[in-house]
């Protein structure tokens, strides 16, 4: 397991986190004591019906479970990632 570097400032830490995957360092990190209020934005949605092979859906559900998120959220994230690659001009500016 790699050792978490020591940082001289919060800015240095933030810059490092933006460029590194922190998953392998998680056991070395301290729990945050701060409480963050999160306000979710509500966007209009429409249900769609998509047929997937059962084994594909099972794999998606397994990946979602590993990540601790609902499988529908994972599918949305993957679709958005592909849309950003293929047609970024079609996405609203946030």
**Alpha-carbon distance 82 to 74, whole Å?**
12
Contact 17, 29 (CB under 8 A): no
Nearest partner of 7 among 38, 34, 28, 37, judged by Cα: 28
Short-list 38, 40, 28, CA closest to 2: 28
Average pLDDT (18-44) is: 83
Is the Cβ–Cβ distance between 64 and 70 less than 8 Å? yes
Task: Please state whether 73 falls in left (phi above 0), alpha (psi between -120 and 50) or beta.
Answer: alpha
pLDDT at 94 over 70: no
Cα-only R_g, the chain: 18
Can you give the pTM of this predicted structure? 0.56
- Given this model, what pLDDT does residue 87 score? 93
Task: Provide mean pLDDT across the span 18-39.
Answer: 83
How far out from the chain centre does Cα 91 lie? Answer: 18
Query: Tell me: the pLDDT tens digits for 41-91?
Result: 888 889 999 999 999 999 999 999 999 999 999 999 999 999 999 999 998
Query: In the structure, what pLDDT confidence band is assigned to residue 20 with cuts at 50, 70 and 90?
Result: confident
Q: Average pLDDT of the chain?
A: 89
């Amino acid at each position: 397991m790699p050792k978490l570097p020591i940082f001289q400032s919060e800015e240095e830490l933030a810059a490092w986190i933006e460029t590194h995957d922190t998953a392998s360092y998680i056991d070395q990190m301290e729990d945050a004591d701060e409480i963050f209020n999160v306000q979710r934005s509500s966007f209009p949605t429409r249900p769609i019906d998509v047929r997937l092979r059962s084994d594909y859906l099972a794999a998606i559900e397994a990946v979602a479970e590993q990540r601790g998120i609902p499988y529908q959220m994972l599918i949305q994230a993957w679709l958005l990632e592909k849309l950003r690659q293929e047609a970024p001009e079609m996405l609203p500016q946030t």
